[in-house]
Every structure is written in C-alpha cells, then in structure tokens.
Structure 1
C-alpha cells in the first residue's frame, strides 16, 4: 500500500477539490501546530458539542408523505409507507450522458415541506431508500435558503436506479451558484469562513417510468443530514462504555484486484461496496444465484463484484458515492439505510450494544493508524465491536484475505482519524477529513433497543 487511496481513488470532481479549497481557506491558521491527542477535552463536553453540529431529517411515514406536495403521486400506507406513481404529471426526454441514448419517460413529483435545520449548515448529504424495478428510476434534488435569506438553485443530489439497463445511475458535476457547490453527493458552502450557512432546505423527488406502463418506483425514505463540523486536527476522547463484538461476515476487497476494472479499476477501490456487502449479509440478506449469474464463476465472493457494479456512479467513476451505497443496501428486502455523521465513539458503542454495526469513512497516514500497514486519502471500514479496553474492532476490507479482515485498532487513533476535519497528507499539506461520516443499515422492523439506539444518534 502507498499513500494513494487503497480503496477509493478519489477523482478531482469530489472531495479532493473540496479539501483543497478548505485547506486554502484555513491553512494559515490551522497549520501552525496540531494539538497533541492527549490534550483532548472531556467526553461530556464533546457530546454537548456534537449534539449541536448535526441535524437529520428523514421523511418516511404516511404522515410525512402527506405533508409534502405531490404531483402525480400517491401515498402507500400499511407496514411500510411509500410514494408511487399514480397518474403521471407528464412526460419528458432524458439524454443519458453515459449511454448516449435519449429516452422518453413519464414522471411524477413530490416536494417536501421546508425543513429548518437545527444546525445552520456548511454541508448537507441526502440519502434515500427506494425500490426501482426495471423500467423505473428516481431523481433526488435539494433546494435551500441561506442564512442571509437568499435561495440556492435546485441541485441534483443523485439519479438512481438499482439496475443499469435503463439509465446509468449518476451524480451530476458542475453544479454551483458561486456560494455553494455539489461535490458528487455533498452540498457544501464554498466559503464557510464567511459565516454563510444553509438555514433550511426542501427535497424534491421525481419518479420516472416507461410510458404507457403501470410500472412505478416506490420511495420509502428520503432525507438529509445537515452539519456544521468545526475545523479540527484532533477530537475529544470519548468515554468507553461498551465491550461487545458482532459476528459480521468478512470480505477482502484486495482479493478482487483486477476484476471488472470498468467498475472503479477493480477491487483495489472497492472498500465501500465491500463494506456494504458485509453489513447487508450481517442482516441476513444477499443476492440470489440469478443476481450473480453475470459474475465470472472463477471469482470467489461474487457478491462483492455485484455490490461494486450496483453502487457504481458513472459520473464519479467510482463505487464510493455515499448515498448510492445506502440505496444499494435498501435494494434488499425490508432494509433501511441512511448516510449521517456521528459525534463520538460513544455513539458507535451505543449502536454496537444494540446490534447495529457502523460503516465509517476516514483518511490517514500509515503512521497514524497502528497495524493498518497503509495510508489512504479515503477509506471505508466497518466497526463491528469494541474490546474490553475500548479499542476498535473493525472489518477492514483493505486486507490480503478474508481471514485477515478482522483488525483491532487503537481507540484514540481511530476516533481521531474518523472524526477530524483537517489532517496533514503525505506531502505535509493540509487536507480534509470526513468529520464522522458513516452509513447505518438496519431492518425495517428493528428491535426496541435498536430503535432506541438509532433515535439516540438522531436517526428515525
């Protein structure tokens, strides 16, 4: 391994650009001297700050759907409410930039009420849970109001289809109003130091289907995580409260190096779908033999290849689109998924205690994570437990074999590389960190303990 990402070769269209911009804005003040880890503030203070930094709002109940404005949709009630196409609002042509085909689609729309974020935000990430059978797809958009009262344009946050035979799922580059921009899957204020923030937002769903059919996508959840995480090289140490390890399947991405290079250069960049597949199977779901029939039978763990193909973002040219991974998880029976941020390892321990593993995103030098043996500009792993001493037990897909995937990493090192927003890269320049981004996947009918743990971290 070298300091290029072993699992997510980030194109210039994504967070590398954002990292450069943020580093340029803050390097003068931040590059002086990062405080030592040992001097971190106490856990209670950290929890108080974390609660004011992240706001989650997801629409998922029949009441939620009825509270929005629909045009051509109807609300499904029952055990799992959702939105479907009723009488289409109209038809439109879509020129797919990745297939070269222009096709006509019927569509219907739903627009959420305005949500005023509890956190005036520098970033927002939308995610959605939807069934999109062949002949259907959806688009998710976000429009916001800035803290000065002016409005953003409607931004496309993703065009999603579980399959790839109708359209190629895609993010949309080049979206900006010179005050905010979309970086693949993330809304970001261009100059946070100016004090400008996203004060409120709406989401708009467009449901598409082939004309003249009764086909429909079904959207079960849509929402966003808005956040304002302060610039920090180090984070407070969180109190250790849970020692438990979950039994999670182990898959290595590295055993797939060279397989299907059309999907993000093959397994060397498949940390996100490999992590997703581990957790999907932890919950007892997996692709069928028919789903996997396209995979070369000589390849072990074909479900990892399957996950890479069906999370692949044709614009980003990679499998690391965060909401696309969440949406892929919910293409399996009765699954929920969101992209959010957590405030501490105590939050992760609360979820682990309830039986919910956490997929985390982090970047680090090889010297910053003892035992990893590599450095990365962006990598997904799965936290599956904590030792009696509080160290992190992780399924790390950047391992030479499935049996080597289970790792134990030092707690203090782990929480810092995951929760910080600033770091020094291999060249000594200031780069960004993810500030606690994670994926949470759980079944539609969680236990009472799981429901409580999710609510405690702001997810309902």
Structure 2
C-alpha cells in the first residue's frame, strides 16, 4: 500500500489557452488515439489567482540576481557555476558524522512579489552536481505585517550520495512560519498572516582547490493560498486522449533496499518520476545500474528511489528532490507546482505532457484503487471520452496492472481538496493539487505554450 507523509496543501491554477502555432482542437475520435510527446489541442482560457510559480532559468534572469563568486554560463540551458569562490566553510553532515571543508559561491535572486500572497511556498531546482560538489537552496521572505523570515534551508542536495547525504532540515521556525520537510508554511493561516514576497539563495559548494563546479540551470518557487475546503468544483470534460507512458509497479519492489524508505512499498514518487523520465526518452545507463541486484526487474526504479531519498525525511517522497532527480538526465527540466482543476491537467495532456500528481483518500473515495492512503503519487496520462482519468498508478501488483481508469469526479476531489476525513472520521489535510511537471528541452512551441498556460515559464 502506498504511503508518504501527510502535508497541508493548497489549490492552484492556470491561465491561458493553447498558444500560437497550436493545432485547432481535434475531434474526440482523433484525440482518443495514444500519442508520443508533441501532441497539441486548443483550450479556452483558464482563470485563477490561487498560485504563483516563478522561476529563474534564462541568462538575463540569472544576471538580474546578486552573485558572490558565481558566473553565468550560456548554452541551451543557461545556468550558474562557481567562478571565483567567495569563501570557505565547513559542513558537518548530520547523516554521516563527517565534517569537511568546502569552497562556496552564492547567487541570490531578486525579490519576487507573490500574487497572491501565500500561506505556502515550495521551492524546486534543476542542477548538475559532479563528484565533489553539491548545492543548497534557501528562501527568505517578507510578511504582510512587515516582518521578515530568516533564511530557511529548503534543501541540501547532490545528485549522488558519495559526498554529502541529500537532506532537508527539521525544526526551522520563527514563530510565524515553519518548514515542513520541503514546504514553507504560515503557522496560522486563519490569522491573515501571509508571505508577500520572497528571495531564493543558491549556494554552490566544491572541494577546496578543485576545478569542479555544480551547475544550476533553474531555480524557482511556487507560492499558493486557497481557503481550506473538503469539496472542490467539478470541471467539465474537454479532452479524450491517452499518452503512451511506460508502466512501472512500485509493489514488485516491496522489501528491496529497505534502507530507502523501507523498500518499494513506499516508492510511489520515484516510480512515477521514472515513468515520466522514460516517456521523454531518458533512462539510467547500464553503468548507473551496476549497484542494483541483477535479479531485480526494473532496476531503474530502485535507482530512482536511491537518488531521490531524503535522509532527514527518511523517505523518497520529497517533492523537489524528485524533480531535481529528473533534471539530472540529459536536457530534462522539472518543477513542483499546483494546478486548479482537471481542465489544467487536460491542457498539458493535450499538448503531450503527462504529469505526476499527489492525492490522499480512504479506500471508499476512489473506486477501483483498492487501498487508502495519507499521500500517494501517480501519473496522469490521459482522459477517456467520458472525461475519466487514465492514471498510471504505481500502487499496483505488477506492471501490466498499472493502468487504471478512475472516475473523474472522485479523482478530481481527492487531488484538489485541502481537507478530508480519514477512515476514523478525523479531519486530515489534503494535497491541494500538488504536481510535478517534467519535460525535455526538445519540446515543441505548442508544448511550451501549454506550460506557460499553467504558469511554468
């Protein structure tokens, strides 16, 4: 049965329609055919002001930040690297007991004003960290009462696990807000307190005297604010299409590598991420997988679990660690954001972009699932002619069983609500429309437009 930590969540949104160059909306019959990356369809405007994702990912954007020892590098994915280190520091890794010296350089974003002011913020980043390097991402913001947060650590991250153990940091709070694993949250949203702006700071580390450097080509954050609710409005089906996405079961890995969140039973997030990574034509090399027991099927799922594992959270479900893992593959990008309805998901699927969503429910709330969960990731790969959701659900007994069709109304509500009742009738949090969106650099103009329409630029 899937499991992950329950998180307070908020609902989000999208803006515009399919963009210049997109094909006219196709007939239902035409849209029903499975497609590979690149499809497109028209969409009426989608209006909401519940979420604000903002990222820095272009050379001009990087140059607008404040650099201490970093420099901008051009290319198909412009980014920042260590130029001349700003200094040296020591880091005591709490998970290995090792203290080591590191050179570092920093980049600090301009202040981004949130629209709307937020109760929650989730940062995400895309980076390469060669051996002997790692990165840290921090967030600082301003409240609507004029106060400022401290610099909160949102993650200490490396693609590998040979130098540091990737980790979040517990017990961060200023009495007004706290960091819950990967999420900034206002402690008492009912008080009216909100975060009105933020900055992100990225610190790049390398071993002293080395020429190696991390490269960061995207950093951003999603802020959101939606009142708590148990029910969300139903959207109107507008699409019938199913994408051809690999199907992997997490359950066949039960008991494997229990040092990573007790094994495959809890690997819904990396299993879902691996499906979408391979949809975009990427996968680990044979050399990457040499550490995996050769008797295991789908060793790439074991690989994804190991390299998304958060040593503080003690799980593989850290949202930005999963998008960062995806971005380690050739020319891949990934962000954590929120969407406002299944119409937004349809917009992406219509353009050939599947997504990974987080939902929580008791068994009776999702017909055909056969389980309940406080938090579970699955992929949205299409919609039937009746508008029901075609999902690759990794909580399945084997790979052929991964494809599910879930009732649209049930699925939309368990994904988008922010409050729910558990099996004992107690009020619990909902996931509020959280999702990962992953894509490769080879996307079409129509796919870029679909991403922009849901706020990802």
Separation in 2, partners of 1:267, 1:331: 22
Q: Post-superposition shift, 1:230? A: 1.5
Secondary structure, aligned partner of 1:311? coil
Which residue of the partner structure matches residue 450 of structure 1? 447
Deviations 1:266-292 (A, max 9, x none): 000000000000000000000000000
Which residue of the partner structure matches residue 62 of structure 2? 65
Separation in 1, partners of 2:355, 2:158: 24
Matched, 1:189 2:186: yes
Residues 64-83 of structure 1: pairs in structure 2 closer than 5 A: 64-83=61-80
Which residue of the partner structure matches residue 369 of structure 2? 372
Unmatched 5+ residue regions in structure 1?
A: 1-5, 23-43
Equivalent residue for 1:340, pick from 337, 341, 350: 337
CA contact (8 A) 2:336 2:437 kept: yes
Which residue of the partner structure matches residue 279 of structure 1? 276
How many pairs does the alignment contain?
425
Matched, 1:7 2:2: yes
CA contact (8 A) 1:72 1:85 kept: yes
Which residue of the partner structure matches residue 411 of structure 1? 408
Separation in 2, partners of 1:255, 1:229: 37
CA contact (8 A) 2:204 2:214 kept: yes
Separation in 1, partners of 2:108, 2:392: 38
Which residue of the partner structure matches residue 425 of structure 1? 422
Which residue of the partner structure matches residue 401 of structure 1? 398
Deviations 1:225-248 (A, max 9, x none): 000022110111112111100000
CA contact (8 A) 2:127 2:215 kept: yes
Which residue of the partner structure matches residue 349 of structure 2? 352
CA contact (8 A) 1:136 1:216 kept: yes
CA contact (8 A) 2:132 2:212 kept: yes
Separation in 2, partners of 1:247, 1:230: 36
Which residue of the partner structure matches residue 164 of structure 2? 167
Q: Post-superposition shift, 1:47? A: 4.8
Secondary structure, aligned partner of 1:348? helix
Q: Post-superposition shift, 1:406? A: 0.2
CA contact (8 A) 1:47 1:344 kept: no
Matched, 1:291 2:288: yes
Matched, 1:215 2:209: no
Equivalent residue for 2:128, pick from 114, 120, 131: 131
Which residue of the partner structure matches residue 388 of structure 1? 385
| Cα RMSD (Å) | 1.5
Structure 1 length as normaliser, TM-score? Answer: 0.91
Separation in 2, partners of 1:400, 1:141: 39
Separation in 2, partners of 1:137, 1:402: 35
Separation in 2, partners of 1:362, 1:181: 22
Residues 259-278 of structure 1: pairs in structure 2 closer than 5 A: 259-278=256-275
Which residue of the partner structure matches residue 320 of structure 1? 317
Which residue of the partner structure matches residue 201 of structure 1? 198
Which residue of the partner structure matches residue 176 of structure 1? 173
CA contact (8 A) 1:8 1:320 kept: no
Separation in 1, partners of 2:301, 2:160: 16
Which residue of the partner structure matches residue 113 of structure 2? 116
CA contact (8 A) 2:46 2:344 kept: no
Equivalent residue for 1:310, pick from 289, 307, 310: 307
Separation in 1, partners of 2:441, 2:225: 29
Secondary structure, aligned partner of 1:165? coil
Structure 2 length as normaliser, TM-score? Answer: 0.91
Secondary structure, aligned partner of 2:234? coil
Secondary structure, aligned partner of 1:208? strand
